[in-house]
Structure 1
Amino acid sequence: MQVVGYHSRVEDHAALLLADEGAVTVERLDPGTELTYALGERHCAGAVDGERHYACDGADAPYCPEHTSRWPCARCTGDCNKPIEACDEEHAVYLAVFAPDTVKVGVTRSWRLETRLREQGADRAAHLRTVADGRIARQIEADVATDLGDRVRVPTKVAGLHESVDEQFWSTLLDEYETLATYDFDYGLALTERPMAETLATGTVRGTKGRVAVLDNNGSTYAVDLRALVGYEVTDGGTDRDLQSSLGAFG
């Protein structure tokens, strides 16, 4: 069995996609779910088409060059001919804030705004503009990004999982931009200390925040980047690796 993908959000929670002999199953990561997978070798996750998986033995993980897809909008700044159909839909320009004081600008189709913010694990957000299409949105995003940036790496998000948004930072940010609406998200993690970053699939799911799953294991709490699991062969039985324990595990 192999981890061949993940969903940042399925309805309310994330999920892992597992493939076994060509069939794909969904392992929802609802709070309270017990995961008991041991990680084996890692290689290309191949391709998924609906409920079918096409395996690949390529050594590169999570995907080999043949199975690496390039999203045409990933680095777009609006200097394009709107290459995909979705470009012609109404778009929203937004600011996403991650605790305690990290912010990025982004764009998405208007109807996906709240979903997109949750997929990224934003703690607060502000809807700045609604525009006619994706090209205009990307042009605005590129302009705002010169001041704020348009990417936040997963380690930065993990570093603030146990914190709240700095209210002074948030207030100052809102004073600098006109907004159509603001958002405040709660992922129910109830963390009192920073979880340790690990790559594992054993433990009790406390919750998910974007593509990060928080697992409780043997008295310690771990933050797992779901993308880091993609490509691993897994077996039932739990991890047999020695994991770093948090100080709280000895209390």
Structure 2
Amino acid sequence: MQVVGYRTETATDAPALLLASDDTVEREPLTPGAALSFSLGDRWCAGAVDDDDHYACDRPGAPYCDQHTSRWPCARCTGNCDRPLANCREEHAVYLAAFAPDVFKIGVTKSGRLRTRLREQGADRAAHVHTVSDGRIARQLEAEYAEEIPDRVRVPTKVAGLDESVDETAWAELLDGFEVLETFSFDYGLDLDARPVPETLLSGTVRGVQGRVLVLDRGGTTYAVDLRELVGYGVTREATDRRLQSSLGSFS
């Protein structure tokens, strides 16, 4: 059995891991309170997933080999293009996202995916600041704002603030420079009183998922797991027995 992907929370679906066995994909729900008991083995290319079908690949590249690495053409686009994709011609939203305590980013997405995109990223707060007619204009605005506001936030930075609240003063000061169309506030139910320990494991009790960060309780310690770092691992249904870093609180 291999971890071949994951799904973040949407309005209709709970977060889940995608596990493949015998070319078939099954979902492992990551709902609060769920008990996970998997040991991680070797890691190799996760191949490709098409609905419930899995197309395996035995190449060593992880999480994907060169042949299965998809390169999203819009990832680094700054609007200097001729709108080559159908999506480029759809209405887009430009947004600001806040990650506790005081990390902010600028971003763009199709208007109909705004709330979903914010939850995918694990934003604590957000503000919709522009609606534009197509993706090229959105990317041009993003590139302009990115000279002062980052357009990406790394997962370790997000993990570092999971136990904190958004700095309301800093957030309000940022929004003062924009004509805000709508604001959002998200609660992922993690209820943390200390920063979780970053780790790559799949054994413990699910506390919750924020963006692509899975939070697990195990042995008196709370761990933060980047779901992407699990993709490609072969797994067996048994609790891990390897030695893990523990939080100071686990000894009290």
Please report how far the alpha carbon of residue 83 of structure 1 lies from its aligned counterpart in structure 2 after TM superposition: 1.8
Residue matched to 2:7: 7
Note the alpha carbon deviations across 1:151-187, whole angstroms, 9 max, x for none: 0000000000000001111111111222111111111
The answer for unaligned runs of 5 or more in structure 1 is none
User: 1:178 and 2:169 equivalent?
Assistant: no
Partner SS for 2:120: helix
Task: Write the distance in 2 (CA, Å) between the matches of 1:69 and 1:90.
Answer: 24
The CA distance in 1 between the partners of 2:93 and 2:120, in whole Å, is: 15
8 A Cα contact 1:13 1:208, kept in partner: no
Is 1:30 the counterpart of 2:17? The answer is: no
Residues 60-79 of structure 1 aligned to structure 2 (within 5 Å): 60-79=61-80
C-alpha separation in 2, matches of 1:139 and 1:13: 34
CA distance in 1, matches of 2:140, 2:5: 31
Identity %: 66
Name the amino acid aligned to 2:121: Q
What amino acid is the match of 1:216?
D
Deviation beyond 4 Å, 4+ runs, structure 1: none
Partner of 1:132: 133
RMSD (Å) for aligned C-alpha atoms: 0.9
Contact 1:72 1:83 in 2 (8 A): no
Q: Tell me which amino acid in the other structure corresponds to 2:3.
A: V
Residues 82-104 of structure 1: per-residue CA shift (max 9 Å, x gap): 12211111100000110000011
In structure 2, how many angstroms separate the alpha carbons of the residues matched to 1:32 and 1:93?
A: 35
Letter in 2 for 1:104: K
Instruction: Specify the alignment match of 1:47 in structure 2.
Output: 48
Provide the rounded CA distance (Å) in 2 between the counterparts of 1:176 and 1:135.
Answer: 23
TM-score by length of 1: 0.98
- Residue equivalent to 1:151: 152
**Residue pairs, 1:93-112, within 5 angstroms:** 93-112=94-113
Change (3 A) 1:143 1:93: same
Displacement of 1:12 in angstroms is: 5.2
Give the whole-Å Cα distance in 2 for the aligned partners of 1:66 and 1:7. 22
Structure 2 letter corresponding to 1:194: R
Q: What secondary structure does 1:136 align onto?
A: helix
Q: How many residues align?
A: 251
1:160 aligns with 2:196: no
> 2:2 is matched by which residue type in structure 1?
Q
Give the whole-Å Cα distance in 2 for the aligned partners of 1:52 and 1:98: 35
TM-score normalised by the chain length of structure 2: 0.98
Q: Is 2:211 the counterpart of 1:213?
A: no
| Contact 1:38/1:236, CA 8 A, preserved across alignment | yes
Aligned to 1:222: 223
